[in-house]
Amino acid sequence: MQRQYKLWLLVICCFCGGAWAEGQPPLAQTVKVTTLSTMLANDGLGEWGYAALVEVDGKRILFDTGARPDVVLQNAKELGVDLSTVEDVVISHFHGDHTGGLLTLRRAMSATNPKALSRLHVGAGVTQPRFNLQRQQRNSFIDVASAFRATGGQITEHAGPVQILPGVWFSGPVERKYDESNWNPGLLVQRDGKYVADNVAEDSSLFIPTKEGTIIVTGCGHAGIMNIADAAKQVTKSASLLAVIGGIHLYGKPDPVLVRTAAHLKGLRYLVGGHCTGIEALFRLRELLGLSRNTAVVETVGSSFSLSSGITAGDIAGWVGPDS
C-alpha cells in the first residue's frame, strides 16, 4: 500500500471515529439485530428455535428461520418487520429448529419480490447425511435445500470465512480448538467409511466488526462459543468482543464449564442469550462477566441490540431500561 494512500485511510478512519489497523476489515457503522424466533416472547410467538434480522449499514440479512413453518412469518408481521426486501438469508446449521421456516418465508416473500430471501449462505457440509443409531438418515435439510432451489433460490456453501455483505462476515465451519462439545449426542455422520458422532461441523456464525469491538450472531453455537470467539478475533483482526447474540448451547453445562467460558469471553460488553443458551447459564455468565441487567439479558422475540443504543428488550427479559 502506498504511503500517501495509507495516510488518507488513517485520516478517514480518524474522522469516522474508527480504530483502524492495517489489514483489518472495514468496520460497520450502524448495526441492529432484531430477534424473530426464540423461546421467550414479548410480542409474537415463542418457540424452541432461532431467527434474527441483522441490519448493517442499510443492508439486511435473515439469520436462521425458526423451527415451525409459520412462526417467523407471523412474528415478523406482528413486529412490523418487512422481510420481502431482504435478499440474503443464512442458515447456521442443518437442525430443524433453525431451518423450519425457510420454505414458508421464501414462498411468501417471493410473491412480493422474486429476489426475496433468494440467496442462501450455508457452511460447507450442511447437506451431509446424518444418521440415528438405527442408521436412518435424519438430515431434513437435504430435502429443504432441494425445495429451496426449486423456488429459484441459490445456495452457496462456504468452506471458510467470507464477507457476504460489506462489514458482515460469515464464519463458515469453525476450527474446534477447544473441546466444548456443544451439541446433543445421538446422531452420527460418516467419515472415512466409519460412523462417528456428528459434531455439526458446518455450524457457522456471523461476525460484524465495529469500532467498539466485534458483534457475533450465532444460532446454536454448536462449534462452541470459545471457538467461535477465537475465529471472530482471527477474521476481524480485533481482540475486543462487543456482543454475543443468539444461542450458545450452555443450558445443560455444569458450573466449571460456565466459569471457563466466562474467563475466555472476558471483556465482552453485551450478552443477548437466547434459544439454547439456557436461562441459568445466562444469569451465571452475567455474574461471572461482571455484566448487568441492561447488558446481559435473556433474548426474547422482539428484543434488539443496536450499536447506537445497546440492548432494547422487555421486562420479561430481565431488562430494566437504558443504562443511566
The string over 46-69, giving b where at least 16 C-beta atoms fall within 10 Å of a residue's C-beta and e elsewhere, is bbebbbbbbbbeebbbbbbbbbbe
- CB 54 → Zn ion: shortest distance, Å? 17
When the beta carbons of 103 and 288 are compared against Zn ion, the nearer one is 103
Which position has the grid cell 477474521?
235
In whole angstroms, give the CA distance from residue 227 to residue 235.
12
When the beta carbons of 95 and 130 are compared against Zn ion, the nearer one is 95
- CB 52 → Zn ion: shortest distance, Å? 13
The answer to whether 198 touches 188, Cβ cutoff 8 Å, is: yes
- CB 29 → Zn ion: shortest distance, Å? 31
Cα–Cα distances in angstroms (integers) from residue 35 to residues 55, 94, 128, 134, in the given order: 12, 20, 28, 37
The residue length of the chain stands at 324
- CB 95 → Zn ion: shortest distance, Å? 3
The string over 209-219, giving b where at least 16 C-beta atoms fall within 10 Å of a residue's C-beta and e elsewhere, is bbbbbbbbbbb
The tally of CA atoms less than 13 A away on the side-chain side of residue 200 is 25
When the beta carbons of 288 and 301 are compared against Zn ion, the nearer one is 301
In whole angstroms, give the CA distance from residue 147 to residue 161.
26
- CB 10 → Zn ion: shortest distance, Å? 42
- CB 222 → Zn ion: shortest distance, Å? 6
Query: Pattern 166-205, binding to Zn ion, x per CB under 5 A?
Result: ----------------------------------------
Residues in 85-104 at the binding interface with Zn ion, rule: CB under 5 A: 95, 97
When the beta carbons of 161 and 274 are compared against Zn ion, the nearer one is 274
When the beta carbons of 60 and 130 are compared against Zn ion, the nearer one is 130
When the beta carbons of 172 and 213 are compared against Zn ion, the nearer one is 172
Size of the residue set binding Zn ion (CB under 5 A)? 3
Q: Does residue 284 belong to the site contacting Zn ion (CB under 5 A)?
A: no
Residues in 215-244 at the binding interface with Zn ion, rule: CB under 5 A: 220
Q: Which residues on neighbouring strands pair with residue 34, listed in sequence order?
A: 53, 304
Residues that bind Zn ion (CB under 5 A): 95, 97, 220
